[in-house]
Amino acid sequence: MENTKIIVGLGSCGLAAGAGKVYDEFKRIKEADNLVFELKKTSCIGMCYNEPLVEVIDETGSYLYGKVDVKMADEIIDKHLNKFSPIKEFIVSSDQFETKDGTFLNGQVRIALRDCGYIDPESIEEYEARQGYEAIKKILNEKIKDTDVIQIVMDSGLRGRGGAGFSTGMKWKFCNNYKAPNKYIICNADEGDPGAFMDRSLLEGDPHAVLEGMIIGAYAIGATEGIIYCRAEYPLAIKRLNIALDQARKKGYLGENIFGIEGWNFDIRIKEGAGAFVCGEETALMASIEGERGMPRKRPPFPAESGLWKSPSNINNVESFSNIPWIINNGPAAYAQYGTEKSKGTKVFALTGKIKNGGLVEVPMGISIKDIVYKLGGGIIDDKKFKAVQLGGPSGGCIPEYLSDTMIDYDSVVATGAIMGSGGMVVMDETTCMVDIARFFLDFTQKESCGKCTFCRIGTKRMLEILTRITEGEGKVGDIEMLEELASQIRDASLCGLGNSAPNPVLTTIKYFRDEYEAHIRDKKCPALCCKKLLTYTVIPDKCTGCVVCKRACPANAIDGDKKVVHFIHQELCTKCGACYSKCKFEAIQLN
């Protein structure tokens, strides 16, 4: 037992599922029974659907337990540690035998996520034990020039993982070309979509990788200061970042004369944002750092020439910076071996929605959407029919199931009408109404519009009004064409990426699911039986037992019928609340 480690995942997802109590229970047992195993903390490994997660590493191998509660913690101590008998029915992944969830991790290529779930994120020593800070030391020891570092990043094929996918190395080269007393390197950790879960998990699980990536970037472009722009809603990420910053300063990796080099002064600070989605756009983000309202600026000049406080500035997102140390340590060819001709490396996705195995996955570019959904995600909940994925965050597009062989690369995804974005992948099944999905995402982007551009501010509002009418049974002929016209104007006339891409969910759902729009407008029916005001509730006579439960539940007194007599719903009185449907134990209420 003295060589045994118990590692508890204490990321935000694990803590929300009760991992803190599980850790406390292991600690209590260890102290009460004077046991000699090592109790450690880590962060999210990505297998969020199995949280809380506990890994036991002993002399025989590694065993990852899923959905661990306080009672199971006692059982793990009793059976696994004391009796040397792993509890197989609780184990979701192991290097000793196959498990049903093993493919979730084994099917990934983890570069950005290489340390997440394996190290204590609050320990710089554990990061260093896995090649941490070796990349920047390699650059300094081998006297690799700034331009050569940039060339390495360019040769790797790394493209920005936060949105449009511009070449990271080229971006650094542009900034390096401008000389100025002050230069800034900024980490955008503020994406406000499912991809933000990815950013948060990386910051919580491997903060030093982000810091090292930023230090390398600062060396390459000649930056004098680094800023991490992180939304205040990520308290655990901010806490662990601050711990990492303090540790790096004590080691001499940040501050004055860093790494013992006279005159190289570089430090990083955190700027907490208020969670505005538009601040994911780089010029709006810089305005926010300067204390102004987060609104995009006209370009040119581009940030590389005149950015933060009119000084040359470079912005990359969390995932982009996390890749940099690995690329330097392993070489650009090792990174470029993954992916397609124009989209190299790996991509992290936050897999969510109607999917069995929701969580973080890192896959090589070139993998198909279908493989992510079925091989890693485990398929659709309750084995329902796969309908679509919404890719790229709130302003991404919806890709139908019949295009699920589409490869994950920038060009292939854009060709469908979606975008890669920061890595949100929302899976939908046959019960999802695509008109309502378009309304849902447009509601978000409309609220998050900064209001600077008339077309974005007012155009998205008009589109939202039309979509709302359609889902409420008040759609009319010409609405689809009006949505397309408004979308085209908003996309072409808006200043920033939020406005340019806001119509994507509407355009792609019209393109691939036009029949659903027409059914809502023409027939006043929702094919997915999702839009409440378009539903009709009726009693199935052969199934109704006359139990009067539905009658008692109806708030509008729309149901007639005595005990043991088939009931009847008066449609003119029905408010479509669904109380009768949810209360009936005999499946005697039918949705139409």
Q: How far is CA 369 from CA 110, 197, 366, 484, 589, in A?
A: 18, 19, 9, 27, 37
Question: What does the pLDDT read at residue 393?
Answer: 84
Q: Would you state the CATH architecture of domain 535-591? A: 2-Layer Sandwich (3.30)
Q: Report how far residue 515's alpha carbon sits from residue 410's, in angstroms, rounded to the nearest whole number.
A: 28
Amino acid in the structure at residue 130: R
- Residue 313: both structure tokens together: 């500035």
Q: What would the CATH number be for the domain defined by 124-335?
A: 3.40.50.11540
Q: Roughly how many angstroms between the first and final C-alpha of the chain, as a whole number?
A: 61
- Residue 9: both structure tokens together: 């995942």
Amino acid in the structure at residue 458: I
CB 10 within 8 A of CB 59: no
Domain ranges of the chain: 5-101, 124-335, 346-429, 434-523, 535-591
- Each residue's pLDDT, cut to its tens digit, for the chain (592 residues) gives 678 999 999 999 999 999 999 999 999 999 999 999 999 999 999 999 999 999 999 999 999 999 999 999 999 999 999 999 999 999 999 999 999 888 898 889 999 999 999 999 999 999 999 999 999 999 999 999 999 999 999 999 999 987 778 999 999 999 999 999 999 999 998 765 545 677 889 999 999 999 999 999 999 999 999 999 998 889 999 999 999 999 999 999 999 999 999 999 999 999 998 878 888 889 999 999 999 999 999 989 999 999 999 999 999 999 999 999 999 999 999 999 999 999 999 999 999 999 999 999 999 999 999 999 999 999 999 999 999 999 988 889 999 999 999 999 999 999 999 998 878 899 999 999 999 999 999 999 999 999 999 999 999 999 999 999 999 999 999 999 999 999 999 999 999 888 999 999 999 999 999 999 999 999 999 999 999 999 999 999 999 999 999 999 999 999 999 999 999 999 999 999 999 999 999 999 999 8
Q: What would the CATH number be for the domain defined by 5-101?
A: 3.40.30.10
- Residue 113: both structure tokens together: 């996520």
Q: How many beta carbons lie within 10 A of that of residue 400, not counting itself?
A: 19
Which residue do the tokens 């006692």 mark?
Answer: 74
Angle at the Cα of 120 from the Cα atoms of 117 and 121, rounded to 5 degrees = 90
**Can you say how many angstroms the Cα of residue 4 is from the centroid of all Cα atoms in its chain?**
33
Which residue do the tokens 């019928």 mark?
Answer: 561
Reported as half-sphere exposure (CB side, CA atoms, 13 A), residue 531 has a value of 28
SS (H, E, C) 290-320: CCCCCCCCCCCCCCCCCCHHHCCEEEEEHHH
Sequence length of the chain is 592
- Assess whether the region 346-429 and the region 434-523 belong to the same CATH fold: no
Q: Report how far residue 351's alpha carbon sits from residue 487's, in angstroms, rounded to the nearest whole number.
A: 27
Q: What would the CATH number be for the domain defined by 346-429?
A: 3.10.20.600
Write out pLDDT tens, residues 277-287.
888 889 999 99
CB 216 within 8 A of CB 149: yes
Question: What does the pLDDT read at residue 421?
Answer: 81
Q: How far is CA 390 from CA 165, 200, 399, 404, 537, in A?
A: 18, 20, 6, 11, 30
Write out pLDDT tens, residues 439-472.
999 999 999 999 999 999 999 999 999 999 999 9
Q: What would the CATH number be for the domain defined by 434-523?
A: 1.20.1440.230
Q: pTM, whole model, 2 decimals?
A: 0.93
Rg (CA), the chain: 27
Q: Report how far residue 274's alpha carbon sits from residue 232's, in angstroms, rounded to the nearest whole number.
A: 6
CB 115 within 8 A of CB 244: no
Three-state DSSP class for 531?
coil
Angle at the Cα of 124 from the Cα atoms of 122 and 128, rounded to 5 degrees = 140
Reported as half-sphere exposure (CB side, CA atoms, 13 A), residue 208 has a value of 29
Q: What is the DSSP string of 437-492?
A: HHHHHHHHHHHH--S-SHIIIIIHHHHHHHHHHHHTT---TTHHHHHHHHHHHHHH
